[in-house]
Amino acid sequence: MFRISKKESFSKKEAISYRLIGFLIGIVLSGIIIAALGYPVIKTFISLAEGSFGSAIAIRNTISFLIPLSVTALGLSIAFKMRYWNIGGEGQILMGATAAMGVSMIMPASTPGPLMMIAMLLAGFVGGSVWALIPGFFRIHMKTNETLFTLMMNYLAICFVQYLYFELWKDPAKMGFPGIQDIPFKARIPYVSGVSLAIVAPLIIVILVFFLIKKTKLGYEIRVVGESEPTAHYAGMNVKKIMFVGVLLSGGIVGIAGAVKLMGSTGTLSSSLGGGAGFTAIVIAWLANLSAPMIIVVSFLIAALEQGAQFIQVRMGVPAAVADIVKGLILMSVLGSEFMLRYKVVVGAHGAKNKLDAIPSDKEEVHHVEPIVETKENAL
């Protein structure tokens, strides 16, 4: 038969080429599914590209998709580096935006615009990090499963914002219709030749995150915790503190994404402000292998896909949900291609050389059962 063994090492070039192959497989599989749905494949892909890069407006729209996606993915990547499963991006975006909205509502109307903007961004950071630290606290101190906890926090945030939208912060000026007032005009991020200045946010944050992970002690500690918590512990690191700060930064940056979305595009708060960016950003972070500069590149591609999807829906009547098919399949095949990178498959090998490992099963032929390796390593 065949058996699988771990590769000793792989080069960066190999890593990139396997990812590209995975990416292409994902595109091909998407094409097959799109064809099976009865839509013209080539035309759909061309229109996707045209809708995202084909004109100045298209590129601007792509950039406006890029901003929240990349900032969120950068934030999440810090948590993922620690193998802390922060699936709560959507909720942290919403709570960041909620905090920023709240600040804009309580600050006196005479506050200078830049001051209000800074206060709102800070509030966004605080809102996101508090929302992330609630599950973080229980994960750190009681080993509560953070995957599910952060996931639930998304829905709690959505319900909470709906409560604000329909009840507590309902704008009386809307004559009984639900909705929250707009933020003051001076707190809105200006546009320069059609591109929101909010684009500065991912550009600054990518540098900060890159620097944090690669060049600081905390970044090193975060990576060690991600490799192995016990190792970090034996090395004398304060794992709880590292994790606390990591979760705080992760949620805070995601919260900023929410505040920026509020100030740069929506102008008011609603439960759809996140628009699924919290989930899509998870895909981006993993496709980029948690590397900060790569996150910007991948965000651009995924943003193009989302923008292109709007375009094909209007132009060709192909549902925008097709973008999710492409997204999901690309992620699956890139992740799957990692396998070829990390393991090698030996066909026709005769199994273990060490006969001690071989124990007979109840069948007649002899199976070789090697001891399993305890490994934390899995996906990437």
Of 70 and 196, CB closest to other proteins: 70
Q: Cα(95)–Cα(259) distance, rounded to whole angstroms?
A: 9
Four-residue CA torsion sign, 188, 87, 60, 179:
negative
Of 33 and 199, CB closest to other proteins: 33
Q: By CB under 8 A, what part of segment 64-123 binds other proteins? A: 85, 87
- Rounded to a whole number of angstroms, the minimum distance from the CB of residue 24 to other proteins is 17
Q: What are the helix and strand counts (H, E) for the chain?
A: 13, 4
Count other C-beta atoms under 10 Å from residue 245's C-beta.
Answer: 15
Of 14 and 113, CB closest to other proteins: 14
Question: In 186-321, which ranges are continuous DSSP H helix?
Answer: 200-215, 217-227, 229-234, 239-261, 277-287, 292-316
- Rounded to a whole number of angstroms, the minimum distance from the CB of residue 35 to other proteins is 12
Of 21 and 152, CB closest to other proteins: 152
Of 18 and 125, CB closest to other proteins: 18
- Rounded to a whole number of angstroms, the minimum distance from the CB of residue 308 to other proteins is 14
Q: Which of 196, 202, 199 is CA-nearest to residue 296?
A: 202
Q: Cα(51)–Cα(49) distance, rounded to whole angstroms?
A: 5
Look up residue 110 and give its two tokens.
Answer: 């005479």
> x/- site string to other proteins, residues 4 to 33, per CB under 8 A?
xxx--------------------------x
- Rounded to a whole number of angstroms, the minimum distance from the CB of residue 151 to other proteins is 6
- Rounded to a whole number of angstroms, the minimum distance from the CB of residue 122 to other proteins is 27
Residue carrying the six token digits 């009865």: 38
Of 66 and 334, CB closest to other proteins: 334
- Rounded to a whole number of angstroms, the minimum distance from the CB of residue 184 to other proteins is 26
Report yes or no: 203 and 70 within 8 Å, Cβ to Cβ.
Answer: no
- Which range in 3-11, 47-55, 56-64, 187-195 contacts other proteins by CB under 8 A? 3-11
Of 86 and 196, CB closest to other proteins: 86
Count other C-beta atoms under 10 Å from residue 97's C-beta.
Answer: 34
- Rounded to a whole number of angstroms, the minimum distance from the CB of residue 36 to other proteins is 9
Q: Which residues contact 225 (CB under 8 A, 6 or more apart)?
A: 82, 83, 232, 237, 239, 242, 243, 246
Q: By CB under 8 A, what part of segment 261-300 binds other proteins? A: 279-280, 282-283, 286
- Which range in 1-9, 57-65, 67-75, 232-240 contacts other proteins by CB under 8 A? 1-9
Examine residue 368 and tell whether it contacts other proteins (CB under 8 A).
Answer: yes
Examine residue 192 and tell whether it contacts other proteins (CB under 8 A).
Answer: no
> x/- site string to other proteins, residues 308 to 337, per CB under 8 A?
----------xx-xxxxxxxxx-xx--xx-
In eight-state DSSP terms, residue 184 is P
Which helix (DSSP H) or strand (DSSP E) does residue 4 occupy? strand 2-6
- Rounded to a whole number of angstroms, the minimum distance from the CB of residue 263 to other proteins is 25
> x/- site string to other proteins, residues 148 to 177, per CB under 8 A?
xx-xxx-xx--xx-xx--xx----------
- Rounded to a whole number of angstroms, the minimum distance from the CB of residue 211 to other proteins is 26
Per-residue b/e over 48-80, b at no fewer than 16 CB within 10 Å? bebbbeeeeebbebbbbbbbbbbbbbbbbbbbb
Largest CA distance in the chain: 86
